[in-house]
Amino acid sequence: MPTTVESTSPSPTSPVATVDPVPGQPIPSASPGAAVPTHEPGRIPHADESSGLRRIATGSTVGLAAGVVGLALPVTLLLLARYRPGALPISASQLLQVTAVLALTGALLFAVSLIVYRLGFASLRAVDPRFWAASALCMLGTVGLVLIVLPIAIALASSDTMAACIQGAPTKAPACLRAVAPLASYLAIAGVWLVWLGGLGIVLGIGLASVRYREAWLSAGAALYALIILGLLAPGLSLMFPIGGIAYAIVALPLLVLLAPALTSRGSHRAMSAAA
């Protein structure tokens, strides 16, 4: 007597039952309207996505500290010494030593910021493969910061000579470094351009995150970071060619390095709240 298999269409709320195939009989096909398990390719667990946004927020916070310590304070001290000579109770060589230490600390903090940004973009890479480019560029920026440490150390060691050359004008620093230590200036050239690529990675990664989460604060942060890397073009070119007109870029950069990470941090926290 032949064996018959009776199939019923499950309700939308009932689990889908599986029937073991009988040898010699075809496997019954699912009836129209039956629930079929689906899988969305490229989708990652919510915890991984939140981890990426949290790392972006952390990287922006560390980047804010790096901008304050490594750029805003040194430029403020140098401008204050130039336009208010008696306001600082230290000599020119001591001022250069202080600014070199601040710049070195800021470079280390920015290296940490790039590493954290890279980890955040790597977490989001499972969502969008384009995040790998931002992660790789941030790694190049970290290498560039390592190369910049040596010129800063040389400037700190030869503070008297550098101070006599700069004479309170921060825009003369690239030319003075080239005159005091040509080899260090070449390392600084390579380091500045690698850091520029790292900044480009930050712009790319934050821009992709702003598109994915439709967050205007992230878009604003990416735009300001773009202005920062554009502002770094003039100091970078001045290491290779004697160009003028970089004073406005140097003065404007401290303002941008304070606003860009602040907006990025705000946007990352809003995106995390929306995704929760």
Q: Is residue 8 part of a domain?
A: no
Q: Is residue 5 part of a domain?
A: no
Q: Is residue 21 part of a domain?
A: no
Q: Which residue in 216, 193, 87, 177 sits closest to 140, CA to CA?
A: 193
pLDDT at 121: 94
Residue-wise pLDDT tens digits, 233-254: 655 555 555 545 445 555 667 7
Q: Is residue 36 part of a domain?
A: no
Confidence of residue 269 (pLDDT cuts 50, 70, 90): very high
Residue-wise pLDDT tens digits, 55-91: 999 999 999 999 899 888 888 887 787 778 777 787 7
pLDDT at 32: 45
Residue-wise pLDDT tens digits, 3-22: 444 444 444 444 444 444 44
Q: Where are the beta strands (DSSP E) in the chain?
A: none
**Which range, of 101-110, 135-144, 180-189, averages the lowest pLDDT?**
180-189
Asked if residue 197 lies in contact with residue 232, where contact means CB atoms within 8 angstroms, the answer is no
Residue-wise pLDDT tens digits, 170-227: 556 666 777 767 777 788 888 888 988 999 999 999 999 999 999 999 999 999 999 8
Q: Is residue 228 part of a domain?
A: yes
Q: Is residue 40 part of a domain?
A: no
Q: Is residue 27 part of a domain?
A: no
| Global model pTM greater than 0.75 | no
Print the domain residue range for 248.
Answer: 46-275
pLDDT at 78: 78
Q: Which phi and psi angles does 90 have, rounded to 5°?
A: -135, 160
Q: Is residue 124 part of a domain?
A: yes
The rounded mean pLDDT for the chain is 75
pLDDT at 114: 92
Residue 222 carries which side chain, given as an amino acid letter? A
The interaxial angle of helices 182-213 and 247-275, nearest 10 deg, is 30
More confident residue, 149 or 209: 209
* R_g (Cα) of the chain, nearest Å: 28
Number of domains in the chain: 1
Provide CB contacts within 8 A for 77, sequence distance 6+.
Answer: 88, 95, 98, 99, 102
Confidence of residue 145 (pLDDT cuts 50, 70, 90): confident
* Mean pLDDT of the region 26-36: 43
Confidence of residue 42 (pLDDT cuts 50, 70, 90): very low
Confidence of residue 96 (pLDDT cuts 50, 70, 90): confident
* Dihedral sign of CA atoms 147, 148, 152, 158 in order: positive
41, pLDDT greater than 50: no
